[in-house]
Amino acid sequence: MSIAGLGTRILECVKVSELIDAHAEKFLREVYTDNELAFCRSRTQSTEYYTAIWAAKEAVFHSLGIRWKRGIDWRDVEILCEHSAEMRVEVSGPTRNAMVARNVNEVRVSFSHTRHYATATAIAEAG
């Protein structure tokens, strides 16, 4: 394994809570996939998980050397949580193209949260 990129992100849970309160389903559907929504909604601390998954998506972008911008969809990066401690990353769309261009074959991610903050780290592995 060769590391092609590393990304990390920390977000305040209250900011995500405010976005959800202000924009409700519109915000959730723009940022999260159906699988991510189902996972977060199944948790008692759903705001913290929404924040952690968003941080993970940003960490993936950073590990690939890109930033979110027009043409890059938040939902291009899907954080699949089989269990809260076991995560897998699926990448599609233009973000997948950036991944291929950097010869990255896999991105690994880990996140954690408290009541106030969520953090995530992503490692892009070259193939």
pLDDT tens-place string over residues 12-55: 999 999 999 999 999 999 999 999 999 999 999 999 999 999 99
Its domain, for residue 19, covers 2-126
Range of lowest pLDDT (65-69, 85-89, 106-110, 120-124): 65-69
Give the pLDDT of residue 100. 93
Distance from C-alpha of 29 to C-alpha of 1, rounded to nearest angstrom: 35
Provide the pLDDT for residue 70. 67
Write the pLDDT tens digit of every residue in 92-122: 999 999 899 999 999 999 999 999 999 999 9
The domain tally of the chain equals 1
- The full DSSP string for 29-58 is HHH--HHHHHHHHTSTTHHHHHHHHHHHHH
* pLDDT recorded at residue 25: 93
CATH number, domain containing residue 34: 3.90.470.20
